[in-house]
Structure 1
Amino acid sequence: MEENQENWLPHLINAVPTTGYGKKLSMYTIALEGWRRGLKLKFYTIDNPENKLKIRYSLSSDEREHHFESSKGDKTTEEAYEICDNKFLTKEYLEKAGVPVAKGKRFPEASTNDEIIDYALSLGFPLVLKPINANGGKGVFSNIHTEEAFKDALEHVREDLGYPDVIVEKFVPGNEYRFIVVEDEVVGVLNRVPANIVGNGKDTIRQLIRNKNNERKRNPHLKSRMIKVDKAVTDLLKSYGYTMKTVPGEGEVLPLRLTSNLSTGGDSVDLTDVISPELNRIAIEGTKAIPGLSVSGMDIIVNEEDGSGVIIEANTRPGLGGHLFPVQGKPRDLPKKIVDYYFPETKDYERSALYFDFNSVLDPLKNRTATTVNVAPLPYGHTYSKKYIVSGKVQKIGYKVWIKRQAMQRRMHGFAEDLDDGVISIVIASTDKQAVDDFKQVCLEGNNKAKVENVEVEEYDLPVQIGFHINQKVTVEDVRELEKEKEQIEKERDYFQKKYGQIQNSTIWKSTSPVRKVLDVIKGK
């Protein structure tokens, strides 16, 4: 089903199922990119002590296979992961390589709070306090200005959150940017802006937040990252002299939070084309400074006044969602860059317009009815597509089910759906151009209850899911057609089972058994 998807990469329009939204975006889009290039794709689960569901995937050619966890491939070593997982180790490696980092010191579990406070006072405010190995910004306190605030944060991190091993750093003013580096190239730069709304002179703050959240629901990366109205939001509004009922003026930008986390409603803004060569150099050198790190997400605080930057964190699994679907700016095709790096020989392979059903792949893994799912290989060759608009007596008479049967018999892909004006839209795709062109005649023919008056032909250049699907509600007539189709398939199954039994019991089949065994050995079965 087609939707209005502005600012999407064309090859992803309609091709990202809701199953692939949020945290699974990196996994799905890299897997899809490799599969569309003709690589073999496999999803599988791994054993772990907590018995949690952990899904991994692999891409392979005839020569080699690479395994991935989200956006992290197997060219990133375990050593690189361990270094990046420990913020102090990261800092040490960066400093040794001459890469700019914030001044600071690590305090292990054995350190007392008094020792840490003494060092903090000698370093001078403002300060940053963060755990050595927490993820997602958990336990990170930034821009601490007073001794009392530092003591409160320290107690909270070490005792309440249970992170006794901490780092104290000098706070570096500026904006935090995420740089994605693939080998020797910066392929994406993102700035995360705190949750905000823009007034229109008519709607209240409450309504503007609701409108903004509706927009976020349409973004695959932000669908589950809504702006939540909590005490932090209402307190900030109060400091402006506003309430949820206030109507901001036309064009008035109103920040709702001081932190830029996307999970609490922040916006992602692409800055790849305007970032300075010096900052790109810092990100690339920071990646090279960590042994075994080939694809990274470098978080850099940038001083907007002088353009300088310091690395505050290195990530081995950089999320791609914000770069693929930024709120502002140009989307970046990072899955292509990653597959180019792992399979450079496929760079010039024509990307197919087809995509696979991610739901049917994940379901048996989630239900634990399978530990491995191999995705069916991509049909070889260029995919041709067309849309047929069929008018006449065609709705609610089983016409769509009949069309589906015709398409599947011809091994074609696409979908059919009712439109509001009584017509049916049919998208058909195949590597056989003539078959796509000839399908117009199939649409004109119709089932025995249809009265087709006209079939208009339109070009179609959007992605198409493998198989043929019926969108929207299925009518009673459609159900009857499906039951007939099921009955026909069962008859065919019974016929072939009977024929197979006759062959197995035949004298020729039994007498040739030794020959078949030898052939199986030759084939390696």
Structure 2
Amino acid sequence: MKYQLDHLNYAVPQNGFGNRLSSYLLALEAWRRGLEVKLYLDEANDERSLLFQISDGRTKHEFKSSQGTLLSEEAKVICNDKDLTKNYLARNNVRTPSWKLFNKNEYEEAYKFAELIGFPLVVKPLSENAGKGVTPEITSYDEFNRAIALVTEEIGDDMYIIEDHIPGDEYRIFMIDNKVVAATKRLPANIVGDGVSSVSELIDKKNKSKKHNPNMSTKIITIDDEVNHSLKTSGFTLNSIPLLGEQVFLRKKSNVSQGGDAIDVTNKLTSEMRTIAEKASAAIPGLTYCGLDMISGSENSPAIIEINTKPMLGLHAFPSEGEAIDVPAMIIDRCFPNYAHSPKSLYYFDFKNIVYLLKRDNASYIPVKPLTELSYSSYHTFLDIVEDSSDETIKNVHNKAKELQLSGTITRHNNRELEIRIASPDAKIVEKFKSLIFEMRSLKQNNEPDLSVPVNLGYQYVRNKAELHTEVERVANQRDKKSEMIQKKNEDIAALKKENKKLVRQSRKLKLRIEELENNQ
């Protein structure tokens, strides 16, 4: 799949990096500009979260996911406390739903407040928690009780907020210096009928459609009690067949992490929405950039729900629909303005392996190998293997790439197709490799080559599933053979021990016989 932001093609795997996607996008953007990047683990945190530092030799910025030192500590403290955030918003005449803060022992007071504002209402934890523990559109006291139990017992938060539910569409708006730079409309997990497929089949199709999006591939729709309850409320079951074009919502929360959609609407926000977003961002001291959660309906003016200082950048770089916005580049521009217009490389680094080494070796930090050359000459093509000696052909290509010290990957998709994506700062080296390839009679080009593609710094040979299965079988066979050898050796040792015992007994008998003979003389 080709991503909208061309410089991220191949640089971001289709399965993404989960919650570390924002970290990688920022680190990659900085590194490609020639900035120094170090990755390390937060030893003060039991979870050992991934942290990284970006430096130009004079200025340093440290990040935890997308949250960096460009943000003031005051802004982080305020936005991590929903009650405090709302107080700042209200103080600056920014509309936010009516709310009140309670601790887990104030159930009677919470009950009275719920009566006062009436249903529907929302219960959420006090701290910023990526949507965890939030129960929207509560319409009964049974739901109300379950929502409080979710926060105080399951999530383990002693404090929670009850707020008025405002109907409308939900938006995540990314702000830099109090200006809107990107916006997505967030929809709860949903499916759209085709008039033929069941709800269950449509969920499966929707999940498969997400697998090529690095930000959405792991954020699939899971069929659970909430989904079944939503279906029942809407008059559906998993076996129901929705009409062509009929949209069925499966959850209440507009949470992308639970299978929701993110549609880019940067150029569709109303002037009123932009004005309120700018006013909200300016209400928090030192809030250089953030993700605002806004709700906007046809009957009421927009309201700010929350402010996030660690927003998901993949939401804007890889939306479900609409235009991709390069928010990571904007953040690096803001952190290092002198590098805003500097040339960028299309190399990318092995992020997954660095994280693995950090955890395995317990290293204090790992610097990403700096780029000595930002530009390179590249070559990307697909080749058919036209002879039976596919293993020998691939071995020859592999060896030539290593000999020439090329960067990039050579991928074997099957026994008959080879994908080559290589690069070198020296164009002559690339041309030499191409000449060597075309001299091989067993290879035939099957497409027009692409001469400008992102490539991995360093060389990798990527095996296909069949090769991996073969390798697994080979290792398993080796293991079985060694097990047999060990078993045979153990059997031989047991036999030798048995023979040794027999010889010891015979030796004792002979000694006794010798003693008898000596005594009789």
TM-score under structure 2 normalisation? Answer: 0.81
Task: Out of 383-392 and 316-325, give the one that drifted further.
Answer: 383-392
Deviation per CA, 1:327-385: give whole Å up to 9, x if none: 11111111111111101111212221111111221111122432211111124242221
1:426, 1:153 → 2: CA distance? Answer: 54
Find out whether 1:465 has 2:456 as its counterpart: yes
Kindly tell me: are residues 431 and 48 of structure 1, through their superposed partners in 2, closer, same or farther at Cα, counting changes over 3 Å?
same
Shift of residue 232, structure 1, vs aligned partner: 2.8
Between 395-404 and 177-186, report the one with greater CA deviation.
Answer: 395-404
> Are 2:177 and 1:183 equivalent residues in the alignment?
yes
Residues 79 and 363 of structure 1: CA distance in aligned 2, closer, same or farther (over 3 Å): same
State the partner residue of 2:204: 210
Q: Structure 1 residues 368, 387: CA separation in 2 closer, same or farther (over 3 Å shift)?
A: closer
Of residues 58-67 and 410-419 in structure 1, the stretch that sits farther from structure 2 once superposed is 410-419
Q: Does 1:44 align with 2:40?
A: yes
Distance 1:123 1:224 in 2: 38
**Matching residue within 301, 326, 329 for 2:319:** 326
- Partners of 2:400 and 2:433 within 8 A in 1: no
Question: Does residue 11 in structure 1 map to residue 4 in structure 2?
Answer: no
Per the alignment, residue 132 of structure 2 pairs with: 138
Q: Deviations over 1:89-115 (max 9, x none)?
A: 111112222222222333356x73323
CA distance in 2, matches of 1:405, 1:156: 58
Query: Structure 1 pair 148/265, CA: closer, same or farther in 2 (3 Å)?
Result: closer
Paired position in structure 1 for 2:60: 65
CA separation of 1:246 and 1:61: change in aligned 2, threshold 3 A: same
Q: Secondary structure at the match of 1:130?
A: strand
More displaced, 350-359 or 225-234? Answer: 225-234
Letter in 2 for 1:463: P
1:416 corresponding residue in structure 2: 410
Give the 3-state SS of the residue equivalent to 1:221 in structure 2. coil
The alpha-carbon distance between structure 1 residues 394 and 353, as it changes in their structure 2 partners (threshold 3 A), is farther
Looking at structure 1, the residues matched to 305 and 249 of structure 2 have their Cα atoms a distance apart, in angstroms, of 24
1:349 and 2:349 are equivalent in the alignment = no
**In structure 1, how many angstroms separate the alpha carbons of the residues matched to 2:248 and 2:401?**
52
SS of corresponding position for 2:240: coil
Corresponding letter in the other structure for 2:85? T
1:88 to 79, 83, 91: 83
104 and 231 in structure 1: CA distance in 2 versus 1, 3 angstrom threshold: closer
The structural deviation recorded for 1:80 is: 1.4
> 1 CA distance for matches of 2:132 and 2:459?
45
Which residue number in structure 2 is paired with residue 521 of structure 1? none
The answer to whether the 8 Å contact 2:186/2:263 transfers is: yes
The aligned counterpart of 1:386 is 379
Does residue 281 of structure 1 match 2:275? Answer: yes
Per mean C-alpha deviation after superposition, the further-off stretch among 15-24 and 95-104 is 15-24
* Aligned match for 1:335, one of 309, 313, 328: 328
Cα separation, 1, equivalents of 2:369 and 2:158:
49
5 Å-filtered alignment, 1:69-218, equals 69-108=64-103, 112-133=106-127, 135-146=129-140, 149-150=143-144, 153-154=147-148, 157-158=151-152, 162-218=156-212
Query: 2: CA distance between counterparts of 1:164 and 1:452?
Result: 66
Number of the residue aligned with 2:250: 256
Residue 59 of structure 1 and its aligned partner are, at CA, apart by 1.2
For residue 317 of structure 1, report the CA deviation from its aligned partner.
Answer: 0.4
User: How many angstroms apart in 2 are the aligned matches of 1:418 and 1:149?
Assistant: 54
Distance, in Å, in 2 between the alignment partners of 1:126 and 1:250 is 31
2:353 aligns to what?
360
Matching residue's letter, 2:98? K
Any conservation in 2 of the 1:394–1:424 contact (CA below 8 Å)? no
**1:496 is matched with which residue?**
none
Aligned counterpart for 2:22 among listed residues 17, 20, 26: 26
Displacement of 1:249 after TM fit? 2.8
- For 1:106, the aligned partner's letter is L
* Aligned mates of 1:269, 1:422 — CA distance in 2: 39
- Report the number of matched residues: 468
Question: How many Å apart are 1:159 and its aligned residue?
Answer: 5.8
Map of 1:517 onto structure 2: none
CA 1:253–1:319 in 2, change beyond 3 Å: closer, same or farther?
same
Greater mean deviation of Cα atoms: 171-180 or 400-409: 400-409
Q: Give unmatched runs, 5+ long, in structure 1.
A: 480-525
Q: Distance in 2 between matches of 1:129 and 1:418?
A: 52
Task: Report deviation, 1:64.
Answer: 1.7
Q: Is the 8 A contact 1:390 1:456 kept in 2?
A: no
Distance 1:156 1:24, change over 3 A: closer
Go from structure 1 to structure 2 and tell me whether the alpha carbon gap of 1:387 and 1:140 turns closer, same or farther (over 3 Å shift). closer
Per the alignment, residue 432 of structure 1 pairs with 426
When Rg is computed on C-alpha atoms for both structures, the one with the higher figure is: 2
SS at match of 1:314: strand
**Contact 2:41–2:51 (8 Å) recurs in 1:** yes
Code of the residue aligned with 1:133 in structure 2: it is S
Q: Pick the aligned partner of 1:443 from 437, 444, 448.
A: 437
Residues 191 and 271 in structure 1, CA contact (< 8 A), matched pair in contact too: yes
1:373 aligned partner, one-letter code: I
Which range moves more in the overlay, 168-177 or 206-215? 168-177
Which residue matches 2:48?
A: 53
Instruction: State the secondary structure of the residue aligned to 2:363.
Output: coil
Q: Report the identity percentage.
A: 35
Report the CA distance shift for 1:91/1:439 in structure 2 as closer, same or farther (over 3 A). Answer: same
* CA deviation map 1:7-35 (0-9, x unaligned): 53211111113684221110001100111
Bigger mean CA deviation after superposition, 227-236 or 389-398? 389-398
Deviation string, structure 1 residues 480-524 (Cα, Å, up to 9, x no partner): xxxxxxxxxxxxxxxxxxxxxxxxxxxxxxxxxxxxxxxxxxxxx
**Does the aligned pair in 2 maintain the 1:394–1:423 contact within 8 Å?**
no
Q: Does 1:294 align with 2:288?
A: yes
**1:81–1:437 CA distance, 2 compared to 1 (3 A):** same
Q: Conserved in 1, the CA contact under 8 Å of 2:390 and 2:416?
A: no
Contact 2:190–2:251, Cα closer than 8 Å, also in 1: yes
2:479 corresponds in structure 1 to none
CA 1:258–1:387 in 2, change beyond 3 Å: closer, same or farther?
closer
Instruction: Tell me the CA shift for residue 263 of structure 1.
Output: 2.6
Q: Is the CA contact (8 Å cut-off) linking 1:296 and 1:317 kept in structure 2?
A: yes
What corresponds to 2:237 in structure 1? 243
Shift of 1:193: 0.9
Which residue does the alignment assign to 1:509? none
Scaled by the length of structure 1, what TM-score is found? 0.81
